[in-house]
Amino acid sequence: MTPSSTASPASPLLYRPTLNGLRAIAVWLVVLGHWTRLPFPVGEMGRITFFVLSGYLISGIIWKQQVHPGAPAGWGRRLRTFYARRVLRILPPYYLALALGAALPLATLHEYPGWFVLPFSNVLFYRLQHWGEGVGHYWTMAVDEQFYLVWPLLLGLLGRRVGAFLVVAMAGLLFRIGWSAWVTPHFVLVLLPACLDMFATGAILRITEHHPRVQALARGHWVLLAWAVWVVIWGLTHLIGPEQQEIWLLTYTSLGSVAGFLTLAWVLRAPDADYTPRTGFLLHPALQWVGRRSYGCYLYHLLLPVFLQRAVFRLFPATQANGLAWREFWLGPLPTVLVLTPLLLAMAAASWAWLEAPLERWKNRFDYARA
């Protein structure tokens, strides 16, 4: 596939309900991956999909609203509007989650509050070389916020050239390899440059989604094949030995970006009004409900296991007969999922009803100035 270097998005960004269904599946892959601690990285499938989706959506907004340097007059004002809308959508629910974590209390939040208040928790985890209890997932939000800061500038520099974004995607892979070889391979994946391949892949999809070759690849069987290859490579690298596992850690986001690209192309290809067997399941009311509240699900999902663990340890002291056995039972994967799922859905619903939905209405008052 070699689309024209001057190709541009063929249609404005529209509200796509199928993307809500995809968000629901992606966020619960992450949640279940963290709660059950499966040996297979099911949560990474959700994370990669989210980052590719961010690249697609944010690139589309920046191009459509002309909020990048070099756009027609007034782009600076429109850029401020872009950031105001992002801040209203993301930061108030995030700060509320931080406040709940501090009240729990979570030691890492108390010891390093500034790293979480500002979007640099990913750098903190890199410096510490370990995750904080109940807050390890916030590194992805820090990366997303850093991405929002640099992406308008990068899009203004690169234009809408597929080749330029392929170079950016390759730069992400080369950064991981070079940093791992010359500095350290540990926690390199939490740094923004290491995630550029996923964001760039989303931008490429925004440019090429209507290209005939992309449309031809936007089929369910190609999506399944791409993820199957990803799974097979994971299996082979983990069966052979530790050195091959390091190769996996350096390359799996690039490989997953291809699968994420095809997944989104497949979802975007179908008209939302068509409840077809191909993608119509994404319009199911349950998935739509969860998809709208996916941000809340993500924010709170690692706080709840900490709460459960502390409750179980208090209810079943080690000195009590069968106390250790009861602890092991209630903290097992299945009881954890059964107990925490309704709690997480209730918290996400409350966050949506009382905070996110009102903020969404307020955010929409910030209109972009006409170019």
pLDDT tens digits, residue range 257-296? 999 999 999 999 865 444 455 668 899 999 999 999 999 9
Q: What is the pLDDT of residues 333-359, one digit of tens each?
A: 999 999 999 999 999 999 999 999 999
DSSP per-residue string spanning 189-224: GGSGGGGHHHHHHHHHHHHHTTSHHHHHH-SHHHHH
- pLDDT for 278 equals 64
- pLDDT for 270 equals 66
- pLDDT for 243 equals 74
Q: What is the mean pLDDT of the chain?
A: 91
What are the residues whose beta carbons fall under 8 Å from the beta carbon of 138, sequence distance 6 or more?
Answer: 94, 116, 121
Joined together, the tokens standing for residue 342 give 């309704």
- pLDDT for 318 equals 85
Question: Mean pLDDT across the stretch 247-263?
Answer: 95
- pLDDT for 10 equals 38
3-state secondary structure of 331: coil
Query: Is 8 a residue whose pLDDT tops 60?
Result: no
- pLDDT for 143 equals 98
What are the residues whose beta carbons fall under 8 Å from the beta carbon of 94, sequence distance 6 or more?
Answer: 138, 141, 299
User: What are the respective helix, strand and coil percentages of the chain, to the nearest 5?
Assistant: 75, 0, 25
Q: Which amino acid is at 180?
A: S
- pLDDT for 162 equals 97
Joined together, the tokens standing for residue 314 give 């208090």
| 147 contacts 54 by C-beta, under 8 angstroms | yes
Q: How far apart are the first and last CA of the chain?
A: 33
- pLDDT for 371 equals 61
- pLDDT for 3 equals 42
Question: Mean pLDDT across the stretch 7-11?
Answer: 40
pLDDT category, 321, cuts 50, 70, 90? confident
- pLDDT for 9 equals 41
Q: What is the pLDDT of residues 69-104, one digit of tens each?
A: 999 989 999 999 999 999 999 999 999 999 999 999
3-state secondary structure of 12: coil
> DSSP state, 354?
I
CB count within 10 Å of CB 279 equals 20
Query: What is the pTM (predicted TM-score) of this model?
Result: 0.93
- pLDDT for 11 equals 43
Helix or strand holding residue 232 (H, E): helix 220-240
**How many Å apart are CA 242 and CA 89, to the nearest integer?**
41
- pLDDT for 277 equals 55
Q: What is the pLDDT of residues 231-245, one digit of tens each?
A: 999 999 888 877 778
- For residue 344, which of 298, 291, 309, 310 has the smallest C-alpha distance? 298
Joined together, the tokens standing for residue 52 give 């590719």
> DSSP state, 44?
H
Question: Mean pLDDT across the stretch 161-176?
Answer: 97
Q: Where are the domains of the chain?
A: 17-301+332-363
Query: Is 180 a residue whose pLDDT tops 50?
Result: yes
pLDDT category, 246, cuts 50, 70, 90? confident
Joined together, the tokens standing for residue 140 give 């992805």
Query: Is 361 a residue whose pLDDT tops 50?
Result: yes
CB count within 10 Å of CB 171 equals 15
Query: Is 109 a residue whose pLDDT tops 50?
Result: yes
- pLDDT for 279 equals 67
Q: The tokens 């459509």 sit on which residue?
A: 64
> DSSP state, 188?
G
Question: Mean pLDDT across the stretch 7-36?
Answer: 82
Query: Is 255 a residue whose pLDDT tops 70?
Result: yes
3-state secondary structure of 69: coil
Question: Mean pLDDT across the stretch 161-184?
Answer: 96
What radius of gyration, in Å, describes the C-alpha atoms of the chain? 21
